[in-house]
Amino acid sequence: METVIVKLTATPPYDFDLTAAAATHFRGQYGAENFQDGVLQRLLNLGEHLCLASVRSVGTVDVPQLELELKATSLDETIVAEACHQVSWIVGTDQNLTPFYNMALEEPKLALLIQGLLGLHISHTVSVYEALISAIIGQQVNSHVAHLLWNLLIQTFGPSVQVAGVTYYAFPQPEALVAAGMDGLRSIKLSTRKAEYILEITSRVASEELDLEDLRIHSDEDVIRTLTSLRGIGLWTAQWLLIHALGRPDGFPANDLALQRTLGILLNDGHHLHPEEASEYSRHWSPFRSYVTTYLFAAVRSGRLNTLFPGGKSAS
């Protein structure tokens, strides 16, 4: 197995540990990503090659630099370049946080919230398809159940390699889920309805009838229109994909119950906001609502929200 080590740079301020922790939902592992002892690992599926990417910080928040170690049976220049591109996208190295921070500092409670999260960048999924399947799995279940189902899907149907006695899994290809069929998806405790949604979308992706990556060149409105035309995909899912799959700066899943509770703690003495109220209030955060959403959930998962506003109820 070949090994290549390269250096990546990021736009400061950039806190790798915060960003990697958010990518794994502060659990150490979430799906194909694993973050332990300061190292974020992901098994990348690069066409015919599986490549284990291990990235860690070797810089500071103000002068960020990452060290990326790649391991694969073959590592030519094309594979290394694509691996660097995917890892940079996953950990959001090119985001400029300054305009968002300038806006947030004008609102005292939001400014207080972000002070302990400076340098947190938004993490992304490698593909729109991966984000869509993840969002379907997370519909109408709590984060703990979604975490278990997501890991089961990857470990059951994803390709894997062993490196130094440890097994790593990549996200399943559409063809693998089509082959698994309804029985396979139900075997990992997915509901019948979710299995139907996943198989219908996956079959269209595998047959090239549906090109989800094409959404990258379309407007937010067109993305939402296209996604919500798919069976099982509502506005909640479409808004999450704007943030985590497409890297759009102004996604805001107002129908998310956890977000409504979190906004209630921040703004309304612990009483959750209704979707219309959340959406209306969020307008003055535009065009940075993806960042506000990301920082709110990071504050919840890290415990910072309850530390700052102990009178509210936790939004898990």
- What CATH number is attached to the domain comprising 207? 1.10.340.30
Last residue of a domain, one of 244, 273, 289: 244
For residue 134, give its domain range.
Answer: 128-244
Whether residue 11 is found in the same domain as residue 39: yes
Three-state DSSP state, 244: helix
Indicate if the pLDDT at residue 313 is higher than 90: no
Judgement on whether residues 221 and 177 belong to the same structural domain of the protein = yes
Tokens of 284: 């003055």
Is the confidence at residue 116, as pLDDT, over 80? yes
Counting residues of the chain whose pLDDT is more than 90, the rounded percentage is: 89
pLDDT at 48: 85
For residues 3 and 301, the model is more confident at 3
Q: Which amino acid is it at 128?
A: V
26 in the same domain as 9 = yes
Are residues 240 and 134 part of one domain?
yes
Of the candidates 244, 265, 280, which is a domain's last residue?
244
The answer on 165 and 272 residing in a single domain is no
CATH number of residue 76's parent domain: 3.30.310.20
Number of domains the chain is built from: 3
Give pLDDT tens digits for 4-58.
999 999 999 999 999 999 999 888 888 889 999 999 999 999 988 999 999 999 9
The pLDDT value recorded for residue 25 is 86
Q: What is the pLDDT of residues 255-276, one digit of tens each?
A: 999 999 999 999 998 898 999 9
The C-alpha atoms of residue 297 and residue 302 are separated, in whole angstroms, by 8
C-alpha to C-alpha distance for 44 and 87, rounded to whole angstroms: 9
Q: Which residues contact 246 (CB under 8 A, 6 or more apart)?
A: 128, 215, 216, 223
Query: Which pair of tokens denotes residue 124?
Result: 């992304």
To the nearest whole number, what is the mean pLDDT of the chain? 94
Phi-psi domain of 14 (left: phi exceeds 0; alpha: psi -120 through 50; beta: other): beta
Let me know whether 7 and 86 are in one domain: yes
Check whether residue 109 and residue 87 sit in a common domain. no
Instruction: Label residue 278 by pLDDT band (50, 70, 90).
Output: very high
pLDDT digits (tens, 9 = 90+) for 209-254: 999 999 999 999 999 999 999 999 999 999 999 999 999 999 999 9
Q: What is the CATH number of the domain that holds 311?
A: 1.10.1670.40
Are 115 and 257 part of one and the same domain?
A: yes
70-106 per-position pLDDT tens digit: 999 999 999 999 999 999 999 999 999 999 999 999 9
Confidence band for 316, pLDDT divided at 50, 70 and 90: very low
User: What average pLDDT does this structure show over 124-131?
Assistant: 96
173 and 280 fall within a common domain: no
Q: Can you give the pTM of this predicted structure?
A: 0.94
Same domain as 107, residue 145: no
pLDDT digits (tens, 9 = 90+) for 157-195: 999 999 999 999 999 999 999 999 999 999 999 999 999
**Same structural domain, 115 and 254:** yes
pLDDT at 315 over 70: no
DSSP H helices, the chain, are 16-23, 77-90, 98-104, 108-115, 128-138, 143-157, 174-187, 192-206, 220-228, 235-244, 257-267, 275-282, 289-302, 304-308
**Same domain, residue pair 205 and 287:** no
